[in-house]
Structure 1
Amino acid sequence: MNAANAAPAAVPVSFEFFPPKTPEGIEKLRAVRQQLYALQPQFCSVTYGAGGSTQDGTLQAVQAILDEGQQGASHFTCVGASRDSVRERLALFQSMGVRRLVALRGDLPSGYGSMGEFRYAADLVAFIRAETGDHFHLEVAAYPEMHPQSRSAQADLQAYVAKVQAGANSAITQFFFNADAYFRFVDEARKLGADVPVVPGIMPITNASGLLRFADSCGAEVPRWIRLRLQGLGDDAAGIRAFGLDVVTHLCEQLLAAGAPGLHFYTMNQSTAVLEICRRLGLAGAGTR
């Protein structure tokens, strides 16, 4: 398939970053963001640790993105939170000029005794809507291959539908490498009335052991043929990067050719692979704000 012909002229792209923990990391991420801004992202999101583990760093990174003239979106987890603490944080986001949030349940940190006043992400979405109306564009998570803690695929789908019914504007998926799983999820959700845009989450393959470890921890399926190829490449870093670029570019081609509404890249605070994938897709400079 010709990548340039596979993608529409303008495809919305967005990027996820995690908050750096060192001054060097902050400066490196600043440089990475400047390189990725050439793709005119729709927004840039920053992950947010439950229980306060990275929240200050998240807010600093989001503020920096806003100061750079881009739309910064904060992840917002509710596990262990109270209504008062969420209300306070929403007021802070509003004062910063944040207009987009990624509303998540989050994982219960060690040492926490209870889930807090919000049991599910749908509860958080409903509360944000009740408190702030339409001020925020609310993203939620979607799991084409099922959340690892769900009882069943059907229960997971129902949990997603509940988030949409509570007021989510759109969704971002967990990363995956099987386009059929994504399209099946979207079709099944639409049959249940959840018809908001579902943007595929894309994970570039740059490090074999890191990818497999991360996939195992979050329930993302790495197809056997990809695992075997990565294992066969061993410590050949250049070979892994080349293979990863081919695999992920082809996945994006499949998704865009069949109507996916955009691409959300899990950058891992790196720019090289994302820039090359988008170049191969003909997306350099594409996107909407």
Structure 2
Amino acid sequence: MTPKISFEFFPPQSLEASFRLWDTIQVLAPMDPRFVSVTYGAGGTTRDLTRDAVKTLHSSSGLNVAAHLTCVNASKAETLEIAENFADAGVKEIVALRGDPPKGAGKFTQHPEGFANSVELIEALAATGKFTLRVGAYPDPHPEAPNAQADVDWLKRKIDAGADEALTQFFFEAETFFRFRDACAKAGIDGDKLVPGILPIENWKGARNFAKRCGTHIPDWVENAFEKATRDDREDLLATAICTELCSDLLEGGVNKLHFYTLNRPELTRDVCFALGITPKTVLENVA
């Protein structure tokens, strides 16, 4: 079975990064994604860049674009105004998140007039009736969660608040997702609402640090394999093989949707899509 796919990008912060984003879109848009999303930086630092990138993508690419929206450093009124601006621009999909604290802050602090958490944000957005809402989910325990069940319980609250779908944090073994899906099913969460987040590993050192920051378990065999591949200058071959095998295992386990964290570097994601039997269907003409 050929999966339905989606891609995540981050907003460019320089002219060079803008060209890289457009190049990424040109490479991946022909894969016919369900949607593409554009992230916020920690502490909401790229809020304006995200807004501009989302509107530009929506107007020029023909892609279904989802905007990330967080609770960080903004009042409820400001946050909902941003959402209204997206709706007015024709953007009807939002990835609603609490958001990471600013670098060095240590922990999330609620704005005096802002949303306390993602559940409050989702409830407010759902009340407008204007958006498809996606949220985050954590197959490995979130760094702030006391245990794995707490993440399941919190996701249930988000679904009950009006979330349509959950995009998971990345993980390295399919069994991690399957255990999480089973726990969600026991909590009354429909497994079809769970979309595995996939990170094609462009750079092992960076991915390793990212995994440690977000609480993703790194199996010993992955660590050892990348150490050897890095020495032999075969990192890309290993990354493509591991990512393709992970996706294949998920599909064999009943998954039919995959969400790729592209890091605005499309080649590895494209190669994995090809390996999964996803063939180009569309060509962008208006993005420049």
Determine if the TM-score, normalized by the shorter chain, exceeds 0.5: yes
Which of the numbers 264, 269, 274 marks the counterpart of 1:274? 269
C-alpha separation in 2, matches of 1:49 and 1:25: 15
Helix, strand or coil: the match of 1:234? helix
Matched with 1:128 is 125
Between the two proteins, the alignment pairs up a number of residues equal to 276
Contact between 1:165 and 1:194, CA under 8 Å: does it hold in 2?
A: no
More displaced stretch, 45-54 vs 164-173? 45-54
**Residue 83 of structure 2 corresponds to residue 108 of structure 1:** no
Gaps of 5+ in 1: 1-7
Matched with 2:150 is 155
**Residue 227 of structure 2 corresponds to residue 234 of structure 1:** no
Gaps of 5+ in 2: 283-288
C-alpha separation in 2, matches of 1:115 and 1:54: 18
Which of the numbers 4, 29, 32 marks the counterpart of 1:12? 4
Q: Report the AA paired with residue 282 of structure 1.
A: G
Matched with 1:4 is none
In the TM superposition, residue 113 of structure 1 has moved relative to its aligned partner by 8.8
The correspondence of residues 9-48 of structure 1 with structure 2, limited to 5 A, is: 10-48=2-40
Contact between 1:79 and 1:119, CA under 8 Å: does it hold in 2?
A: no
C-alpha separation in 2, matches of 1:282 and 1:64: 30
In the TM superposition, residue 286 of structure 1 has moved relative to its aligned partner by 7.0
C-alpha separation in 1, matches of 2:274 and 2:224: 27
C-alpha separation in 2, matches of 1:50 and 1:206: 21
Contact between 1:44 and 1:72, CA under 8 Å: does it hold in 2?
A: yes
**Residue 150 of structure 2 corresponds to residue 164 of structure 1:** no
In the TM superposition, residue 241 of structure 1 has moved relative to its aligned partner by 0.6
In the TM superposition, residue 50 of structure 1 has moved relative to its aligned partner by 5.0
C-alpha separation in 1, matches of 2:240 and 2:42: 32
**Residue 79 of structure 2 corresponds to residue 82 of structure 1:** no
In the TM superposition, residue 31 of structure 1 has moved relative to its aligned partner by 1.4
Which of the numbers 135, 139, 142 marks the counterpart of 2:137? 142
Which of the numbers 78, 81, 89 marks the counterpart of 1:96? 89
Seq. identity, %: 40
Contact between 1:139 and 1:168, CA under 8 Å: does it hold in 2?
A: yes
In the TM superposition, residue 205 of structure 1 has moved relative to its aligned partner by 1.6
Which of the numbers 244, 251, 257 marks the counterpart of 1:262? 257
In the TM superposition, residue 83 of structure 1 has moved relative to its aligned partner by 1.6
Q: Report the AA paired with residue 192 of structure 1.
A: A
C-alpha separation in 1, matches of 2:180 and 2:227: 29
Q: What's the Cα RMSD here? A: 1.8
Contact between 1:11 and 1:286, CA under 8 Å: does it hold in 2?
A: no
More displaced stretch, 166-175 vs 116-125? 116-125
Q: TM-score, normalised by structure 2?
A: 0.91
